[in-house]
Structure 1
């Protein structure tokens, strides 16, 4: 179900996506409102699950996670038991930042962040030892051109 948002809601969400640590007073000033209506709208959007959580974004390279791989997985297994095990394995691996099930020739796309190619190989070896996979292709990102968590409002 799509939640109905007005212009003020969108302005508030834009500010939160930019910096969720700013105070209610700052947000209210920037969106042209006062603190109480802003707080009430944020509370309502949390209740409606428009705002799922607030978190800190970390710089991967500053933490030594310099390699980003996009992993394309094809499988010959499509049974519920295999899929359950595969999803469990993916969710347990902190290196996997994103996992998508796709339509088309590729079954799954993973975004994996690791220290280097050796660390990726360790991840790969662990993955294929835990679950049967038909084909794995890893693509190393040479440069991150754009990365955002902000949704277009």
Structure 2
């Protein structure tokens, strides 16, 4: 059963997973050993999927974001799997979602500059046939992050 301390632990780890267990334990009013056991339990039960380092996109050299909206005339399982493999193999495509509505997929692509989008586009269409691709360039990031709300945990 998830309680308020577990929620607080998850919330704090999302902000900085390198926080020392001693500091984390202090912030959630637990002993170090009890806090450590709770973290282990949260990992084992799948609430913590993995711990990662979030890189600075400017320093890494990919400050530009392009969203590609994709339409396809193909919906067979083999085409979808081929599309999935193509998307996974292109490192600049950092997110891909299947959609409802007018477009079938949206791809979040990070690039060194806008002009590099054509390189990624050509690599993608060389691998899979697409009906239509429309791209939108992000002008400004208003909110970015991977932290999830923990208030819904029961």
**TM-score above 0.5, yes or no:** yes
Q: Answer yes or no: is 1:110 the counterpart of 2:82.
A: no
**Corresponding residue to 1:9 among 6, 9, 12:** 6
- Consecutive aligned runs of 4 or more in structure 1 exceeding 3 Å deviation: none
Q: Flag structure 1 segments of 5+ consecutive residues without an equivalent.
A: none
TM-score, normalised with respect to structure 1: 0.95
- CA distance, structure 1, for counterparts of residue 146 and residue 84 of structure 2: 23
Q: Answer yes or no: is 1:126 the counterpart of 2:132.
A: no
TM-score, normalised with respect to structure 2: 0.94
**Corresponding residue to 2:72 among 70, 75, 80:** 75
Q: CA offsets per residue over residues 62-101 of structure 1, 9 Å max, x none?
A: 2211210111001000011111100000011110111101
Q: Flag structure 2 segments of 5+ consecutive residues without an equivalent.
A: none
- CA distance, structure 2, for counterparts of residue 66 and residue 152 of structure 1: 26
How many aligned positions are there? 150
Greater RCO structure (CA 8 Å; 6+ sep): 2
- CA distance, structure 2, for counterparts of residue 118 and residue 14 of structure 1: 38
C-alpha root-mean-square deviation of aligned residues, in Å?
0.9
